[in-house]
């Protein structure tokens, strides 16, 4: 279920973000209520979600075996069961640690290490690890850890920041962290794409590939908001100390949560190892507009079209308008509308660059 996986990613981000912010001096972050109770609940939810996902398989095994035998078979034999057992063990240790951990720097580092072990367990059960064992798990671990660090800090600040004190000091380290995470996400994303999808353009005509396309498109506005929060807002605060940057941080968080939602959807879909080209994933309106005539024998290649060039030019112009709207202090809702336009136009431009034969 998508909502279960999405909840799992959000909980994981809250845990990672908690330990990062706990390791940050008070003079390098806004006034923030970092609740152990929230992190404890988030950790227990990850374990609960893993158990809920195990119920269908356990019920199937219990048709011919006792509960004890079914649980032993599942947790010790099935790959998904081994992953679940790993996550349960790590979450129990982490819950106990959160409850008793001191406020020393060493204890926070231990918390991050336990969070990383939790991510390793989740990466172990990913599609890419099933395709390329060990290599896939390593790539997925790095990818999830990068996203969790970025989103985790944003979630805590977006919801629970009480003021914007020390914001410039906060940006000094968070901007570097965000850009590092963005580069890490991009590199691991490309590696994962190379490992699990033989033909990326052809995969756009499958549900999995189409969702992946949207995930990649949304990285463009994420890059914009990351640069805005790291560069433009820093200059604005220097010129106008009373400026409130939190609304812009929240918009960046929302876009990243949309990417999380798509990632949750992808985690419940099988990657198209042998791509069968269909038009099942393309909206009918887009098919008619672009005159897409797709059959199972079609071959896909990329080409340069006037529509694609126009789309790229218009996208660039809208990005300039987004920067202009911020400089002129227009309402943030205008930027949100422009973000939707950028994503939609890039979507059309990419699809129009496809040549079908």
Q: Are 112 and 16 in contact (CB under 8 A)?
A: yes
Enter the tokens of residue 357. Answer: 């034969």
Q: What is the pLDDT of residue 285?
A: 52
Structure tokens at 210: 């189409």
Give the pLDDT band of residue 286 (cuts 50, 70, 90). Answer: low
Between residues 99 and 39, which one has the greater pLDDT?
A: 39
Report which of residues 284 and 77 the model is more confident about: 77
Rounded to whole angstroms, the Cα distance separating 109 from 176 reads 19
Q: Which of 145-154, 199-208, 268-277, 324-333 has the lowest mean pLDDT?
A: 268-277
pLDDT at 116 over 90: yes
The pLDDT tens digits of the residues spanning 233-242 come to 888 888 888 8
* Mean pLDDT value across residues 329-338: 86
Helix (H, G, I), strand (E, B) or coil at 161: strand
Name beta bridge partners: 161.
Answer: 32
Across the range 141-153, mean pLDDT stands at: 92
For the segment 33-92, what is each residue's pLDDT rounded down to a tens digit? Answer: 888 899 999 999 999 999 998 999 998 988 888 888 989 999 999 888 999 999 999 999
Take residue 105 and report the two structure tokens written for it: 């720097």
Helices (H), the chain: 2-22, 36-61, 67-77, 79-100, 105-124, 127-131, 135-160, 167-196, 200-203, 207-227, 233-239, 246-267, 284-290, 306-327, 332-352
Cβ-based neighbour number of residue 343 at 10 Å: 18
Residue 54 tokens read as: 């195990």
Which whole number is the average pLDDT over 313-328?
A: 88
Mean pLDDT is lowest, of 55-59, 207-211, 276-280, for 276-280
Give the pLDDT score at 276: 54
Confidence of residue 202 (pLDDT cuts 50, 70, 90): confident
| Lookup: tokens for 344 | 């939609």
Contact 238, 147 (CB under 8 A): no
DSSP 354: E
Report the distance separating Cα 269 and Cα 264, nearest Å. Answer: 9
Residue pointed to by tokens 């604005």:
236
Q: In whole angstroms, give the CA distance from residue 294 to residue 202.
A: 11
pLDDT averaged over every residue in the chain: 84
Angle at 180 between CA 213 and CA 156, to 5 degrees: 85
Q: What is the pLDDT of residues 163-201, one digit of tens each?
A: 888 898 998 899 899 989 999 998 998 888 888 877 777
Neighbours of 107 (CB within 10 A): 15
Contacts of 43 (CB under 8 A, 6+ apart): 11, 15, 91, 94, 95, 98
pLDDT band at 23 (very low <50, low <70, confident <90, very high): confident
Q: Is residue 280 classed exposed, middle or buried when 0-12, 13-18 and 19+ CB atoms within 10 A define those classes?
A: exposed
Contact at 8 Å (CB) between 209 and 282? Answer: no
In this model, does residue 316 exceed pLDDT 70? yes
H or E stretch including 302? strand 300-302
Q: How far apart are CA 256 and CA 262, in angstroms?
A: 10
How many residues are given for the chain?
Answer: 357
pTM, to two decimals:
0.88
Q: What number is the average pLDDT over the span 106-131?
A: 85
Torsions phi, psi of 34, nearest 5?
A: -95, 100
Can you tell me whether residue 32 is helix, strand or coil?
strand
pLDDT, average across residues 309-337: 87
Is the model's pLDDT at 266 over the cut of 70?
yes
């Amino acid at each position: 279920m998508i909502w279960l996986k999405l909840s799992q990613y959000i909980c994981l981000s809250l845990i990672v973000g908690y330990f990062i912010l706990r390791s940050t001096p008070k003079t390098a972050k806004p006034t923030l209520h970092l609740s152990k109770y929230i992190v404890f609940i988030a950790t227990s939810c990850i374990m609960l979600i893993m158990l809920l996902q195990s119920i269908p398989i356990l019920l199937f095994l219990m048709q011919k075996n006792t509960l004890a035998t079914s649980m032993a078979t599942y947790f010790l034999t099935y790959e998904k069961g081994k992953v679940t057992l790993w996550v349960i063990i790590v979450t129990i240790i982490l819950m106990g640690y959160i409850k008793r951990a001191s406020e020393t720097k060493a204890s926070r580092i231990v918390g991050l290490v336990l969070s990383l072990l939790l991510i390793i367990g989740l990466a172990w059960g990913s599609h890419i690890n099933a395709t390329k064992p060990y290599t896939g798990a390593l790539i997925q671990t790095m990818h999830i850890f990068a996203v969790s660090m970025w989103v985790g800090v944003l979630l805590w600040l977006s919801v629970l920041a009480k003021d914007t004190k020390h914001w410039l000091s906060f940006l000094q380290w968070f901007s570097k962290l965000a850009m590092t995470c963005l580069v890490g996400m991009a590199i691991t994303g490309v590696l994962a794409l190379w490992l699990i999808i033989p033909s990326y353009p052809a995969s756009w005509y499958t549900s999995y590939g189409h969702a992946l396309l949207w995930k990649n498109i949304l990285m463009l506005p994420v890059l914009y908001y990351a640069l805005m929060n790291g560069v433009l807002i820093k200059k604005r605060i220097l010129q106008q100390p009373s400026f409130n940057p939190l609304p812009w941080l929240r918009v960046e968080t929302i876009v990243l949560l949309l990417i999380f939602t798509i990632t949750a959807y992808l985690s419940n879909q099988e990657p198209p190892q042998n791509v069968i080209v269909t038009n099942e994933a393309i909206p009918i309106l887009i098919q008619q507009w672009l005159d897409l005539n797709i059959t199972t024998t079609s071959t896909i290649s990329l080409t340069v079209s006037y529509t694609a060039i126009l789309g790229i030019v218009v996208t660039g112009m809208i990005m300039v308008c987004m920067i202009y709207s911020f400089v002129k202090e227009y309402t943030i809702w205008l930027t949100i509308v422009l973000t939707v336009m950028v994503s939609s136009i890039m979507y059309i431009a990419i699809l129009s660059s496809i040549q079908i034969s």
